[in-house]
Amino acid sequence: MWSAFQYDGPVAELPMLVGTLGPPGVGKTHLAISLAINAAESSHKIYFRTLTDLVDSLEEAKAAGRLNRRLNTLHPPGATGAPPRS
């Protein structure tokens, strides 16, 4: 199997936002579920959504003036890999 990168460490140390692109039937959902199970076993919270749903949710929060609150819900400040936010 060809891979764009190779990573042999714990999945819980990977970035918290993982997106997959590709045609139907190539295993995107299977991969996402496997990553989510591994992260959940490491006590991480899991949000399983389509990218369209995520973007719509963030746009709605921004329009309502609650973008930072929404971002903090998805990935609290200080969590592993969390970027600083003001």
Domain ranges of the chain: 1-48, 50-86
pLDDT at 43: 79
Complete DSSP assignment for 22-85: --TTSSHHHHHHHHHHHHHHTT-------HHHHHHHHHHHHHTT-HHHHHHHHS-TTSTTPPP-
Q: Is the pTM above the cut of 0.75? A: no
Which backbone phi and psi does 35 adopt, to 5 degrees? -65, -40
- The candidate with the shortest Cα–Cα distance to 34, out of 12, 6, 3, is 12
pLDDT in tens, 44-64: 777 778 888 888 999 999 999
What is the three-class DSSP state of 78? Answer: coil
